[in-house]
Structures are given as structure tokens and as C-alpha cells.
Amino acid sequence: MNPRLVTFSAQVVMLLVVCASLLAHHGNAAYDEEHPITIKGKVTEFVWSNPHCQIYLDVKDQKENVVSWSVESQSPGILRRNGWTRDSIKPADHIAVTLVPAKSGAPVGFSGEKTGKIVFDDGHVLKMDLR
């Protein structure tokens, strides 16, 4: 199955956030930083490690197929200054992750800096501001 995001609709909410100007001036070549999206899914693993924390979650596409996403985030130091701990995200949590997706079309993304955030089902939010 081609996991490209254009095939996602109901469970994968595409938010074409109008913030390209904030992002275009730097960037990791692997990610499409001009087109952030938000995916919703169930956490399978949260890795609290240096230099990159990682979030893994299962996301259903419009055909109810489960796609396993891998998400790169910031370092523990930056996340800690935003109120995170190693237990902030747990397996089975339902979360919405705003990220910039891999240009390759693989279900991989980066959630951090200015656009990245995590929203839980109960409404609480984790951010990744540089501070």
C-alpha cells in the first residue's frame, strides 16, 4: 500500500498550516518542512533518548488499514524545558501529532520546533518550543 499522505482522509487530518515562511529558511533535507500535517493514532512506543526522542504510533488510513508511523522529535533537554518527562507519552495513548512528513512518502516525520505538537484525546497539549 502506498502510504502517501494524500491517500489519508478521515483518520489522518491534513492541516496545511500556513507557516512556510517560518520554516523555509532552515531545514532537514529529509522532510517537507513547508507542508506540516497532523496524524492521529495509537501510541505503540515512546523512546526518550539522545539526541532524538522518538514516537511510534499506529494510524488508520481511509481503508482502515493500519500504518505504523515513526516520528522524530527533539532532544530530552528541549522537551524537558517544555514540561515533558520520559513518561509523558505511553503506549496505547491516543494522540494527534503535528509533524513535517518525509519527502520520500514513507510514514515518517519530524515533530519539533515551531510547528510540532502533540494533542491528547483529553485535550492536553505537549509542545517542543526551543527554550
Which residues sit at the interface with another protein, rule CB under 8 A?
A: 22, 25-31, 47, 49-52, 54, 70-72, 75-78, 80-81, 102-106, 108, 113-114, 130-131
Q: Of the two residues 81 and 94, which places its CB atom closer to another protein in the complex?
A: 81
Q: Of the two residues 9 and 83, which places its CB atom closer to another protein in the complex?
A: 83
Closest distance between another protein and the C-beta of residue 27, in Å? 6
Q: Which ranges constitute the DSSP H helices of 63-122?
A: 76-81
d(CA 121, CA 102): 25
Closest distance between another protein and the C-beta of residue 119, in Å? 21
Q: Of the two residues 9 and 104, which places its CB atom closer to another protein in the complex?
A: 104
What one-character-per-residue DSSP string does 19-75 give?
A: -HHHHTTS--TTB-TTS-EEEEEEEEEEE--SS--EEEEEEE-TTS-EEEEEEE---
